[in-house]
Amino acid sequence: MSLADKCIITAALAGAATMKSQNPAVPYTVEEFVEEAYKCYNAGAAIVHIHARDPETGLPTSSIDVLREIVKGITEKCPIIINLSTAIGIGATPEERINVVKQLKPEMASLNTNSMNFALGDWKNYQILGETVFTNTFQMLIEFAKTMKECGTKPELEVYDLGGVYNTLFVRNQGIFVEPLHYQFVWGVLGGCWLDLANFKRFMDLIPEDATWSTCGVGPAQFRGAFIAAVEGGHIRVGLEDNITIKKGVLAQGSWEQVEKAVKIVELADREPATPDEARQLLGLKGGPEI
């Protein structure tokens, strides 16, 4: 199978908001992160996406030391690509957010592209259970991109709405990115864009022709998007960060179980999951972390 037909599966292990109370497989400790990443690698993931957690409280942390331990532990265990979040969690400052890249110079890091409401909703009674303004100014987009370029880190452009896509197209003209671009389409955040074939096609049509893209989505939008990506030439992100279930009403045993499901989808679509090295080729990555 040609490299172009391979599908890159990313596992987003924890995120900033999913807690063990929702799914006990969410990693908090370094050991849990390493173990979960290794299982995802064995299941077929080429990339793990990491938000570090405070091992005691389980809350997201901007501690570089904790994050370094996680990266080191995963790297020693397997060649999976490490993609670090520069969102970290509510309350992280811009400095803390980009510090992750400056200190650890990962192969990949997320780069958020627009400010927006980021809410948790009760979809039965249509109440807002909690919300924050997720701030990602143009200045941050530009500065983060420049730092990533200096650090040899490939940005994964997180687009939650059309505005985010247009923002990247505008600043791209400044030459701050190493081309081609790589996008993550994020579906179903309350405050962002919901999944719909027409919305999906808009995102696909608007990004540069040589850009690569992946899909992730909140709850049911996770695998719904994965099906579409599998046959439309995209890549797939799964993981407990976005969805705690493996199917309707059934908790996933871990992000690795969702990776296994993604592999089945990819194979039914006559593609194969990319190995980490194949993903490195597809995305133009520099290679393993400098730990």
Residue number with CB closer to a copy of itself (102 or 166) = 166
Q: Decide: is 146 part of the binding site for a copy of itself (CB under 8 A).
A: no
Residues 153 and 178: their CA atoms lie apart, in Å, by 9
Asked if residues 61 and 54 have their Cβ atoms less than 8 Å apart, the reply is yes
Q: Decide: is 213 part of the binding site for a copy of itself (CB under 8 A).
A: no
Residue number with CB closer to a copy of itself (9 or 67) = 9
Q: Which stretch binds a copy of itself (CB under 8 A): 14-22, 31-39, 57-65, 192-200?
A: 192-200
CA angle, residues 215, 222, 135, in degrees to nearest 5? 65
Q: Decide: is 167 part of the binding site for a copy of itself (CB under 8 A).
A: yes
Residues 132 and 119: their CA atoms lie apart, in Å, by 6
Ranges within 249-268 binding a copy of itself (CB under 8 A)? 261, 264-265, 268
Q: Decide: is 200 part of the binding site for a copy of itself (CB under 8 A).
A: yes
Using CA atoms of 24, 26, 30, 35 in order, give the dihedral in degrees to the nearest 10: 90
Strand partners of residue 235: 214
Ranges within 172-191 binding a copy of itself (CB under 8 A)? 173-174, 190-191
Q: Decide: is 227 part of the binding site for a copy of itself (CB under 8 A).
A: yes
Question: Minimal CA–CA distance to 280: which of 80, 37, 2?
Answer: 80
The single residue among 24, 76, 93, 128 that binds a copy of itself, judged by CB under 8 A, is: 128
The single residue among 171, 178, 251, 291 that binds a copy of itself, judged by CB under 8 A, is: 171
- From residue 285, give the alpha-carbon distance in Å to each of 80, 107, 144, 153, 177: 12, 6, 17, 8, 13
Question: Minimal CA–CA distance to 10: which of 275, 237, 234?
Answer: 237
The single residue among 194, 277, 281, 287 that binds a copy of itself, judged by CB under 8 A, is: 194
Site string for a copy of itself, 63-102 (x = CB under 8 A): ----------------------------------------
Q: Write down the H helix ranges in 152-275.
A: 162-172, 197-206, 221-232, 255-268
Q: How far is CA 143 from the centre of its chain?
A: 20
Instruction: Kindly determine how many residues on this chain lie close enough to bind a copy of itself according to the rule CB under 8 A.
Output: 57
Q: How far is the CB of 58 from a copy of itself (least distance, A)?
A: 25
Q: How far is the CB of 188 from a copy of itself (least distance, A)?
A: 9
Q: Decide: is 286 part of the binding site for a copy of itself (CB under 8 A).
A: no
Q: How far is the CB of 14 from a copy of itself (least distance, A)?
A: 24
The H-or-E segment that residue 214 falls in is: strand 212-217
Residue number with CB closer to a copy of itself (121 or 288) = 121
Q: How far is CA 102 from the centre of its chain?
A: 19
Question: Minimal CA–CA distance to 32: which of 86, 65, 69?
Answer: 69
Amino acid, res. 246: I
- The binding site for a copy of itself (CB under 8 A) comprises 114-117, 119, 121, 126-128, 131, 133-139, 142, 160-163, 166-167, 170-171, 173-174, 190-194, 196-202, 204-205, 223-224, 227-228, 230-232, 247-248, 261, 264-265, 268-270
